[in-house]
Amino acid sequence: LNDDGGRTKQLKAIFSGATAADAKKFQQYRFDLKGKPEVSGTTATATVVCEKHTKGTPVEQKWEFAKEGDKWKIKAAPLP
């Protein structure tokens, strides 16, 4: 996500339902996974540390993932 945050086409490949507006929001941040995701069947949650590129304070957010076919996609990714 750190590499694809500003590219709408790539964002759509990793998100379930991403838009160009989403791409603009996500390109402002850097993301790091904290710990291991909790997987339950075809859904998962993980703690992601979000930090703005410009003097941001790291903030932990709980993201949700869903398995679509044989690939995992981000279902919900709240930003600070």
- The strand pair at 29-40 and 43-52 is best described as antiparallel
What digits encode the pLDDT tens for the residues 20-50? 677 678 888 889 999 999 999 999 999 999 9
pLDDT at 20: 64
Share of the chain above pLDDT 90, in %: 40
Average pLDDT of the chain is: 83
Q: How many helices (H) and strands (E) does the chain have?
A: 2, 4
Which pTM does this prediction carry?
0.78
> Which pLDDT does position 19 carry in this prediction?
65
- Is 70 exceeded by the pLDDT of residue 7? no
